[in-house]
Amino acid sequence: MRNIEQTILSQYANSPSLCTMIAAWNQALDPAALIEQWYTLVWNVQTARGFGLDVWGRIVGVARVLSISSETYLGFAEANDLTEGGFDQAPWYTGQATTTNFALSDDGYRQLIYAKALANIADCSIFSLNLIAMTLFAGQGDVWVRDNGDMTMTYVFNFVPTDVQISIIQNSGVLPRPAGVGVSYAIESAS
């Protein structure tokens, strides 16, 4: 600890034996490295790993383990999600989806934590919804929110999301929507 002398009460500051013991304890139990490690691995969300990100996930309210829908079913654009395919591309829906649990990597979980933190403080304007979508899918391709003008909105993806990203979009609750507004998801080509 730095400036250990400042922590000793003035009535004991002139005791050589007490000051020697405190100085020896300070050398043996210097918490500076532990405090720096704690800050790096837990407190700083930009550098946190493992347990630290799990703590941040609990703070913002998002889980590391997602239920991933691993199949696409026959459907049409009216289904308003990203799990439909056309004829000769996907099987009929049988009533039970095949799901698996998937734990996100630290980098993916950090991205999800950022997006959820933004969603927690968002005012649900188009600007803030676009900021959240661009943060969550940075480097993947273009993504934006379209106001359909009839109390509905659409998250539009200019790339094909992976199964994990589809689960983040539909199951994690990270992508917010204004109260009373219907939400749908669409994949549009880059043309």
The pLDDT value recorded for residue 74 is 54
DSSP code for 89: T
Q: pLDDT: is 74 or 182 the higher one?
A: 182
Beta-bridge mates of residue 102: 66
**167 in any annotated domain:** yes
**171 in any annotated domain:** yes
User: What's the mean pLDDT when you consider all of the chain?
Assistant: 80
DSSP code for 129: H
Token couple for 101: 């649990």
Q: How far apart are CA 165 and CA 180, in angstroms?
A: 25
pLDDT in tens, 134-173: 888 888 889 999 999 899 999 999 988 877 788 778 777 7
The parent domain of residue 135 ranges over 68-187
Give the chain's domain count. Answer: 1
Q: How far apart are CA 132 and CA 178, in angstroms?
A: 14
Do 53 and 106 form a contact (C-beta atoms < 8 A)? yes
**112 in any annotated domain:** yes
Quick check: 93 pLDDT over 60?
no
Token couple for 98: 């095949």
pLDDT in tens, 99-133: 577 788 898 888 889 888 888 888 988 898 998 88
Q: pLDDT: is 32 or 16 the higher one?
A: 16
Q: How far apart are CA 132 and CA 59, in angstroms?
A: 18
Q: pLDDT: is 45 or 11 the higher one?
A: 45
For residue 164, the SS3 value is helix
pLDDT in tens, 72-91: 555 554 454 555 555 555 55
Whose tokens are 């990270």? That residue is 174
The pLDDT value recorded for residue 59 is 93
**14 in any annotated domain:** no
Pairing mode, strands 182-187 and 152-157: parallel
**111 in any annotated domain:** yes
**165 in any annotated domain:** yes
> What is the helix (H) or strand (E) element at residue 21, kind and residue range?
helix 16-28
DSSP code for 135: H
The pLDDT value recorded for residue 28 is 80
The pLDDT value recorded for residue 114 is 87
pLDDT in tens, 38-68: 999 999 999 999 999 999 999 999 888 887 6
